[in-house]
Structure 1
Amino acid sequence: MPASPSTARAINDRLALRLLQDEGPLTATQLKALTGLSRPTVADLVDRLRGSGLVEVVGEAGAERRGPNAKLYGIVAGRAHLAALDVRTRSVSVVVADLLGTTLAEASLPIRDGTATEPAVEQAVALLERTAKEAGVAAVHSVGVGAPGLIDPATGELNDSSGLPAWHRRLVPVLQERLPATVLVENETNLAAVAEQRVGAARDCDTFVLLWLGQGVGAAVILDGRLRRGSSGGAGEIGFLPVPGTSGLPSATDCAGGFHELVCVAAVDALARRHGLDPRTALPSGEGPFLDALADRLAVGAAAVVSVLDPGCLVLAGETGHAGGAALAARVEARLNRLSPLRTEVRPTALGDTAVLRGALLAARDAAQDELFGPAEGRG
């Protein structure tokens, strides 16, 4: 059944907006070529989008730079403003940006151990409000929050997790109460994977796994271009993966004895000290024997992931993945391909410490665009 005229217009508008978002400012002639639409149809949709305040003339193109065909059309960046929060155990970082994702202001704040729940939440919310004010933003349209812990697929809420501060769970409800904004929360590792997929190390991959190697250890699974969370939101909880070389077996409430015990930051620091190295500089220094030993540990858990999912590509992220860089990734790849017949490329993060914030900002931007432009199909 053919689409109605109104449905066809909505589809065409959405296509044009996505092209303007992804490709940057375009002329009507370029939009015609990229969409395959007729010149009158493109002219009509440009008029509609300009009338709705979503698109504006941002310049001219071409040798002569004059006439209607030379006009460059772009998204109105100030049509909505976004915020992203990276919530860690002892800190929170904030970025405020426009609809194109351009950073307008950013800030970070430590949250001291032992800070009570309500004061900690107030500090985080106040940081966001101050950063928005610094950016000259009166109201934020959408907020993306990245946090450790599991997200309930049914409710979209952060589940209670042992070892995490109580203020983590309280923060999102308070943001929803205080701000006239859409507030979304997602597991930090999942957000890092989305960022690496769209603007980082895995831009050419529809299927890959990101290993998060930091204070906590986890994985994010992207299959056929979509983030996979699992039935309870726990896909990728490889810190609990039973592996050889640990003190025992993990339990339902404690990942000690699991893969976490081998490759969390504390374990990596201890390994560095056993090699006579300063944990603060061991990874960046690229010390051979230490990196070899760490790669041996990482390959054990990575081999289990590869044998089940066959992702073809692993991205090493988090503090250890970032600091180890290409040298660590190459060693893990070599060992992994000796352990498994499934060939797997191992890459270091391209976004480093910014991966979670970038992913949270992309989530906020998607939410704003879905409301302003209409929902996009096929997004994870």
Structure 2
Amino acid sequence: MVTDVVNPPTSPVSRERSKEIKRLSVISAARQARVLSRAELTELTGLSPATLTPLVRALIAEGYLIERGPGASRTGRPRAMLEFNPGAELVAAVSLEPSRISCEIADSDGTVIAHRNARLHTDIVETICRFVPELVGEAMSALRGVAIAVPGVSSGGAVRLAPSVGVIEGQPIGDSVQAILGVPVVVDNDVNLMAAGEHAAGAGNDVTDLLLLHVADGIGAGLILDGRVRRGAAGAAGEVGFLPLEPGDQGHDGVGPFEARWSENAIAERVVALRPGRRPTAPVRELVELSRTDDEAAGYLREVLGAWARLIVSCVCVVDPGRVLLSGAAADLDDAALDLLQSLVSLAAPAATEVRRAVLGDRAVLHGAVSYALAAATAPAVAAGSF
């Protein structure tokens, strides 16, 4: 006897999940294309016109899509066009710095619509959860996520090794903010966010693998492989400032051996010794300038470039990023110094490695935050941890 096989009915949860995935695919396609027709949206998403029509209608009502006049057409009647509205998705980018907090609200294009800076003298979580709603105002329903940049190690939303902002071990900033604001929150090392920003909208937007070397009070690296930020098992990938210089070297008070000697702070001290006076605001730029007329300064600049080159080559030996971006004080090198650094890397590296300046400067964290927060907003329905 043959028994018909009856497929079990799809559960309401599965139907809702499927609908949300389709909705997010339409949003993603429209966000990338910016302006497109319904036919083009069908091609990009693979969804049938019958499925697409109610989704588009709903997204127009929600403000994601704006109907525009007909576009140019080579054949037949001109098609009505749809334009993605970047203001339908807002992101909060929070940066924790020594004794200071900055909060920016941006749309999905990275355009800042509100910002605030303040001294960090109260509870970090309370400050973030007060600033974000105040800056977003009546558009709170458009907030898709919060990205928090910290000068330390982040793992699972908990922060450690960030002494400059009063955090040494395990403060669960991410979970606490998410519980209060009710939107996805991503907490990461500030250099990782810079790398993500340069990859999304800067000097790394044409490659899938890169390493960003950021030189400031400390030295850190952000690593992107196969288009994704890599954080390591405990979130400490890229903490290159802790590389030892001599046998037995160890970090002290959250400062690593390498950055203690070759960071912006260390260079500033040497520049003051070479040219007595006030501490320079741009030590690397001043060292480069001084090296043009002072042999001792020129020798010290070569030492700095040699140390940075060894650091880069060490990273290349392990991950082979193909492109290295210089950020922070390292981006202040002039063309001649950059060429020398490139030659030192090329001589010692086991694989071809291009060394460039990062281009976004202070905006790198914001663009990284936009990338993180939008990915985090879609992660629950698509693939957790895909950002």
Q: TM-score, normalised by structure 1?
A: 0.80
**Could you tell me how far 1:84 is from its partner in structure 2?**
1.2
Q: Does the 8 Å CA contact 1:196/1:349 hold for their aligned counterparts? A: yes
Deviation at 1:249, TM superposition (A): 4.6
Alpha-carbon contact 2:97-2:165 (below 8 Å) kept: no
**Code of the aligned partner of 1:313:** R
Q: How many residues align?
A: 358
- Measure the CA separation in 2 of the matches of 1:336 and 1:349: 17
- C-alpha contact 2:114 2:135 (8 A) present in aligned 1: yes
Pairing 1:186-205 to 2, within 5 Å after superposition: 186-205=188-207
* 1:361 is the counterpart of 2:358: no
> How many angstroms apart in 2 are the aligned matches of 1:251 and 1:295?
23
Shift of 1:185: 0.9
Secondary structure at 2:160's aligned position in 1?
Answer: coil
CA distance in 1, matches of 2:230, 2:176: 28
- How far apart, CA to CA, are the structure 1 residues paired with 2:256 and 2:157? 30
Q: Which amino acid aligns with 2:360?
A: L
Answer whether contact 1:57 1:74 (CA < 8 A) is retained.
yes
In the TM superposition, 1:1-380 aligns within 5 A as 13-32=23-42, 34=44, 37=46, 41-42=48-49, 44-52=51-59, 53=62, 55-63=64-72, 69-111=78-120, 115=121, 117-118=122-123, 122-133=126-137, 136-139=138-141, 140-152=143-155, 155-159=156-160, 161-162=162-163, 164-166=165-167, 169=171, 171-172=173-174, 174-243=176-245, 249-251=248-250, 253=252, 258-276=257-275, 279-284=280-285, 286-287=288-289, 288=291, 289=298, 291-317=301-327, 319-324=328-333, 328-370=337-379, 374-375=381-382, 379-380=386-387
Say if 1:330 and 1:12 are closer, same or farther in 2 by CA, change over 3 A. Answer: farther
**Residue pair 2:147, 2:369 contacting (<8 A) in 1 also:** yes
Query: Are 2:66 and 2:82, in contact at CA under 8 Å, matched by a contact in 1?
Result: yes
User: Is the contact made by 1:261 and 1:267 (CA closer than 8 Å) also made in structure 2?
Assistant: yes
State the 1:241 CA deviation: 0.6
> Does the CA-based 8 Å contact 1:27-1:72 persist in structure 2?
yes
CA contact (8 A) 1:21 1:100 kept: no
Shift of 1:378: 9.2
Contact 1:109 1:127 in 2 (8 A): no
Say if 1:196 and 1:327 are closer, same or farther in 2 by CA, change over 3 A: farther
1:312 Cα deviation from its structure 2 partner = 1.3
- 1:204 positional shift: 1.6
**Aligned mates of 1:303, 1:270 — CA distance in 2:** 26
For the residues of structure 2 that align with 1:217 and 1:249, how far apart are their CA atoms? 20
Residue 181 of structure 1 aligns with an amino acid whose one-letter code is: V
Cα separation, 2, equivalents of 1:325 and 1:184 = 35
Kindly state the Cα deviation for residue 60 of structure 1 after the two structures are TM-superposed. Answer: 2.5
Secondary structure at the counterpart of residue 169 of structure 1: coil
Q: What secondary structure sits across from 1:311 in the alignment?
A: coil
Unaligned runs of 5+ in 2: 1-9, 292-297
Q: Secondary structure at the match of 1:137?
A: helix
Q: Structure 2: which amino acid aligns with 1:146?
A: A
C-alpha distance in 1 between matches for 2:368 and 2:87:
20
Looking at structure 1, the residues matched to 54 and 100 of structure 2 have their Cα atoms a distance apart, in angstroms, of 46
Cα distance in structure 2, aligned partners of 1:274 and 1:197:
38
SS in 1 for 2:204: coil
Structure 2 contact 157–172 (Cα < 8 Å) conserved: no
Equivalent position SS for 1:151? strand
Residues 1:173 and 1:368: Cα distance change in structure 2 (over 3 Å): closer
Contact 2:145 2:374 in 1 (8 A): yes
Measure the CA separation in 2 of the matches of 1:14 and 1:163: 39
% identical equivalent positions: 26
Between the aligned partners of 2:25 and 2:336, the Cα distance in structure 1 is 41
